[in-house]
Every structure is written in structure tokens, then in C-alpha cells.
Amino acid sequence: MKLSTKLILFFSGIGLVFLATALYIGHVSTVNILEKQIRKELENYTFHTMDKIDRMFYEKYLDIKTIARDPVIASRSSTAGQITERIKTYQTADPSYASISFYTLDRVRLADTAGKKIGQQHPFTSYWMQLKDDTDVILDISASNSLSEYVIHFVTYVKDKDNASFGIIVSRIALNVLYDMLKELSAVQNTEIKTEIDLVDEKGLVLYSNYNTKGILTETSPDWSFVRPLLDSSKRIGSKRHRHSDVAEEEILAFSRENGYRDYKGNNWTLVISVPVKKAFAPVIQLRDRMVMLSIVFGVVGLTFIFIFARRMTKPLEILSHAFTEIGKGNLDVRVNIQSKDEIGQMSELFNKMVVDLKDYNEKLLTYGIDMQKNNAELKSKARLLEMRDLESRLFGRMSELFQACNDVEEASVVITNTVSQLFSNDRGGLYIYNSSRNLLESISVWGSPPPQELVITQNQCWGLRRGHAHVMSDAIKDLSCQHVRESGVPYICTPIMAKGESIGMLHLLLDSLIGMTEDQHWIKEKEELALRVAESCGLAIINLKLQESLRNMSMRDPLTGLFNRRYMKETLELEWQRSLRKFTPIGIIMIDIDHFKQFNDTFGHDGGDKLLCELGMFLVKQIRGGDIACRYGGEEFTIIMPEASVEVTTQRALQIVDAVKHMHVMYKQQSLGIITLSIGVAVLPVHGTDTETVLQSADNALYRAKREGRDRVCVAEDAGGQSIYEEVL
């Protein structure tokens, strides 16, 4: 590319970047200012509208308390007719009330302005479940059975002169009263911009919507997922720019949560208003388009001036460029003649002087080149050695880091295989570890093709293990060969793996890469030292992992029965519960207690009782499925966790255990402990509880019920009732 072209592109680029930056900054600033104004305006709308709603609710809050304290209504001696006439006067005074009802504490309707369902008991739903002795006033929106529409309920207790509750007063206001107030907000908005308004409760349920009337009291507001995080951060009023996943256009939303009014604390409702960004920013977009057109005109004029300037500047430079090209071809006799007093003229003079100097330096460079070739060969050899050391250092560091993350020796063997196969990339080998009896060494990993033939060896078959230090066989005639090595003509190294002064295994390497190089002792020594470092790192890691595995078993097993302990049982039950939530499957719980266990202790002593507990533990392991978990809950109580087991399956398994245990004969000091019977309680998640603590308590209660009913039996926990956790998820 010519310099003139580069200059044109350079200055053009600067101009374009400047114009683009100016346009971008101006556009962004204008958008930010307009966005702040829109947000502020929307926040004001939401705040004042919610304040009007709170004031209205406050008036109704005072009304319901006034009605409840009315002398006629608050008198125990008033008849149903007198109460009816009295509450009708309140409805007449305020037409916004759809109806007013008086109930007994048993939810029986005694009086109602609409005269419907007198003497009938109201179902125990909705606001009735919220009533407590210390309840002041309850506000609830739900369907009214008597009015057959959605209404706002105001509920409070009616108390006599002794401040004792003897009735409940309920006033109902049609939800249209709330809708009319929110429609006033829609009326003040710009009719050219589509404004979406939602009034939602504390869970996001739509109470009012000007665009989704079918979703009122049945759906969650689509903006709730954006508003909820802001409310969780303790914001009661705010705004946000966002985009729905199924809509390409961005929106600006503002929200305001209820603050209450005086004594009325509010219902934690939230008003949400959203407007489309494209419509709101339409004036800014028009301004941006006009500025872009104007910038294009200025750009065309600027490019013309840049082209003329670049051509005048690059003419002398083209002459210099041609001269440099000739020098590149080896022509050192070239000269330039540019008559100019500026920097380019000075460059031409310096160029002519440079050509003269190059002739002198050229001869010296030929001499230096010969010396550089000799030094280069030495540097390559040293660089290769440094690369090998760097690779070894990185692999050892990575292996040590992975050892810390391993949970057992099996995982560590994978790390060792991966690392050693890279350190000895052209060699084969295997890692051998003593078995628990320390009479054999078993391979936990092998690598290379083909791998070593012997996977199990004895200590006497290896000179390295017998001598206690590395054994190298590089010459089959001069060196001793180990009995476990079947390959002939392949040099090898057997390196014992030591940890805390004790041999725990052996690293065996078949050095295929050194076949035919046995006379080069330098490379064999390098391999031996590297094998020693690998064995040292592996020894410490393996002994630590074995110690960790031993400690884990001690922490999760009951030392007497060998079953899982109570702590492990609770952790496993929580894990299985989380899995069952994803798979929508139940979990069976069987709680077992030995009947009259104290008599066994009193008759045969605590050793006899321990013998019985051990035998029962082994018995339970044989009675459960492969995926079930048997635990010692404490004392003579045992627990069985049965994943994916229904109430019927769990109960059937408990009955089988009760029948089978009677055929178990336990001998202690050549004396039979007699017939053993069990009391069993059965519970199932989520049928008998929606969390692990509840279902364990249900199983325990069923166990004690089995004991009370005569022992030697199975009792199923009573159904907790209500909606299951799976139905809640769906």
C-alpha cells in the first residue's frame, strides 16, 4: 500500500473517528438525559398513585374498625336482625361497599347486607386462615362466593365491653373501585406512547392490568422478574431499563411499593409502569439521523482536501522508497538527489552517507556470521535442556496441585498416569502399591503400549524393593534383572515409593526411548533422577490420601455396628431429598427400635446388648436394596432411607423386616438371646412432611405409636395433609 494511500486512510480515519465519537457522545448524553426525565416522571406517577390507593385503604381500615366498635354490633345481646339493619346503614352511607357480613367465631354467617347464605358456615380458606387473637385488620383480595366476583375483603374481630372477641365483621369492596383509580393513571399518560400498567401483590400476582385483563389474579406480571431484585435490595421506588427474553424491543419500567398511610401499614403491593424505549426516544433518534447526514457531507469535503495534501507530501518519499529498494537488491552505488530544506531533504543527505557506511559494515558482518553459527548450535542445546526442565517443573507443580484435590488413591492414580506419561513420553511403565496384607504389590495404573505384563508382583521379585533404593538395568549382561520384568533388551528403572520411612509401593519404568543408547550414562542418570522425584511426590500424596480415606470412614461410620452414623444419615437424606425434587420421586423412611432392649442389657449385660446391635446391623444390610441406606440413629434405634420408594413399597419392606427378624438367632457366650421383635415407624417424603426434619419426626412419632399399640408391629405416619411439595413446584 502506498504511503499516500496510508495518509489518506489515516487522516480519514481520524476524521471519521472524531465525527463518530462526537455523534456517539452527543446521542448517548441526550438519551441519558431523556431517560432520566422519563424515569423521574414515571416514578412520580407510581408514587402518587400508590399514595392515593393507601389513603383509600386507610379510610376503609378506619371504617371497619368503626363498624366493629358500633354499640349495636359490639353488643352480645343484639339480634341478627338488629345487626343486619345496623350494617346496612354503613353500606348506605358508603356505596363503595358491595356487602358487609357478621360471622360468629365458628365462621357461621349471622347477618349480611346482601342477605345471602345466612346461617351457613364459611369454608376455612383465604383470610380465615390469617385470623389470630391479636389480629387487628386483615386486607385480602379473593373471590367472594356470595357475590360471585373478586372483591377486597376487610376483616376484623368484634369485641364486647370486656374486650373479648365474640364475632367477626367482614366488609367487601368491588375490585372495580381499585381499577377506576388506576385507570386515572392511564389517562394522564401520553396517548401516542403505549403505557403498560400492572398492580401486583408481594408475590408478583397481577391485581390490575390495562393490557392483560385475563391475567388478573391468575398470572404473575411479566415485569416481576425485573422488579423483585430491586425490591429485595430494600428499594421502595425506582426504575430500570430492561428487555424481555421473548421481545426484541427494550422497555423502561418504574415501580413503587406501598408505604402505608398513618396506622395502615399497607399490603406490600407494587405498582409497575413500563413504556417502550423506541417510542420514548423517537425525538432523539430523529436528531441522530439528521446529524449523521450532516456528518457525511463534511466527510466528503474533508476527504478531498486530505487527498490533495497527501499527494504533495508523498512525492519525495517515493524517491527515497525506490532508493531503499535498490539497496535491498544489493546495489550500494545508488544515490538520491532531493533539493529541499525540510526534514525530507535532510533524510536524503543522511541516506547517501548511510550507503557509504554500509559498504564498510558489510565486510565486517561476513566475519561475524561465521562466529554466530557456532554459538547458535550451543544455545539450541542449552535451550532444549531448559525447556525440558521447565516442562518438568510445570508438570510437577500441576501434579501436586491435583493431588490436593483428589479424594482417594484411585483418583490420584489417574493424575500420576497423566503426569508420568508426559514426563516419560516415549516410555512405558506402571505404579504398584502394597495391598492391605503387604504380601503383594498390585498395579493401580499402567501406561504405554504395550503396558507392563505383570500387574501383581511380590517384593522378592524386584531388586529395587529388596534393596530399598532405585534399581537401574541398562545392560542385560552386567546388571541384575528383576523377575517381574518379561521384556528383554529394554532398559528399565524400579524406584521404591517411600513415605515416612516406609515403602508403600514401586514405580516401574521401561525406557524404550533409550534402546540402543545404553552406553550414554548421562541420559540414564537423568531418567533415574526424574524417577526419584516422581516417586517422592507420589509417596507423600498416596499416604496422605489413605489417611484422609481412613478419617472419612471414621467420621461417617458407627464404630459398633459398622452402619452409617446419624450425622451421615442426615446429610445423605438432605442430598436424596434434593435429587427427589428434580426427579419428582418420594423417599421412604423406616425408623426401627428393638423391643425391650433394656431387658437384654439387664439379662446379658452391655456386651450382650452390643452383640445384638451388631447382629441386627448386619441383618438390616441384608434386608435392604442396593441403593438403600441403613444407619444407626442412636442407642437401639436404626433408620433406613429408601430413595424412590412409595408409602406402599416402604411399608411392605418394613413388614418383611418385622417378620424376618423373628427368625434371627443371636448367640452370646454360647447362649441364645431369644426371639427379637421390632417396633417400626414408616414415613415418606413428601407425603408426611415437606422437609427432612419433619418427616423424621413423623417416622419417630409412628415408631412410638407402634410401641404404644403393643410393639412387634409397623405403624405408618399420619398424613400431614395439605399440598405436597411437588404440586407447589408444578
Percent of the chain residues topping a pLDDT of 70? 92
Q: How high is the pLDDT of residue 192? A: 56
pLDDT in tens, 410-461: 777 787 887 787 777 788 888 888 887 778 888 888 888 888 878 888 888 8
Phi, psi of 144, deg, nearest 5: -95, 125
Helix (H) or strand (E) holding 630: strand 629-634
Alpha helices in 69-162 (DSSP H): 80-93
Taking the model in full, what pTM does it have? 0.41
Q: How high is the pLDDT of residue 723? A: 37
Whole-number Å distance between alpha carbons of 269 and 442: 69
pLDDT in tens, 709-723: 998 999 999 875 533
Q: Is the pLDDT of residue 693 over 70?
A: yes
- Contact predicate 630/624, CB 8 Å: yes
Sheet holding 149-159, edge to edge: 109-112, 97-104, 165-174, 149-159, 138-144
Q: Which of 132, 221, 114 is nearest to 174 (CA)?
A: 114
Band of the pLDDT at 258, cuts 50, 70, 90?
A: confident
Q: Is the pLDDT of residue 264 over 90?
A: no
The residue-averaged pLDDT of 88-109 equals 90
Q: How high is the pLDDT of residue 621? A: 86
Domain ranges of the chain: 69-177, 178-280, 335-405, 408-554, 557-729
Same fold, 69-177 and 178-280: yes
Q: Which residues contact 701 (CB under 8 A, 6 or more apart)?
A: 681, 717, 718
pLDDT in tens, 20-48: 888 788 778 888 888 888 888 888 888 88
Q: How high is the pLDDT of residue 191? A: 45
Q: Which CATH number fits domain 178-280: 3.30.450.20, 3.30.1320.10, 3.40.50.720, 3.40.50.300?
A: 3.30.450.20
- Pick the more confident residue, 729 or 517: 517
Q: How high is the pLDDT of residue 532? A: 82
Band of the pLDDT at 552, cuts 50, 70, 90?
A: low
| Residue type at 106 in one-letter notation | D
Average pLDDT, the chain: 81
> How many other C-beta atoms lie within 10 A of the C-beta of residue 27?
17
Whole-number Å distance between alpha carbons of 650 and 641: 9
C-alpha to C-alpha distances, 442 to 336, 430, 455, 457, 537, nearest whole angstrom? 83, 10, 6, 7, 19
Band of the pLDDT at 592, cuts 50, 70, 90?
A: very high
The residue-averaged pLDDT of 606-631 equals 85
C-alpha to C-alpha distances, 436 to 308, 406, 440, 442, 455, nearest whole angstrom? 90, 21, 9, 10, 16
pLDDT in tens, 470-482: 888 887 778 888 9
Instruction: Domain 408-554: give its CATH superfamily.
Output: GAF domain (3.30.450.40)
Tell the CATH topology of 69-177.
Beta-Lactamase (3.30.450)
Band of the pLDDT at 730, cuts 50, 70, 90?
A: very low
Class of 557-729 in CATH: alpha beta
pLDDT in tens, 296-345: 887 788 778 777 777 666 777 777 777 778 777 777 777 777 777 677 77
Q: Is the pLDDT of residue 378 over 80?
A: no
Q: Is the pLDDT of residue 654 over 80?
A: yes
Band of the pLDDT at 369, cuts 50, 70, 90?
A: confident
The residue-averaged pLDDT of 217-246 equals 86
Least-confidence region, from 428-432, 447-451, 642-646, 655-659 = 447-451
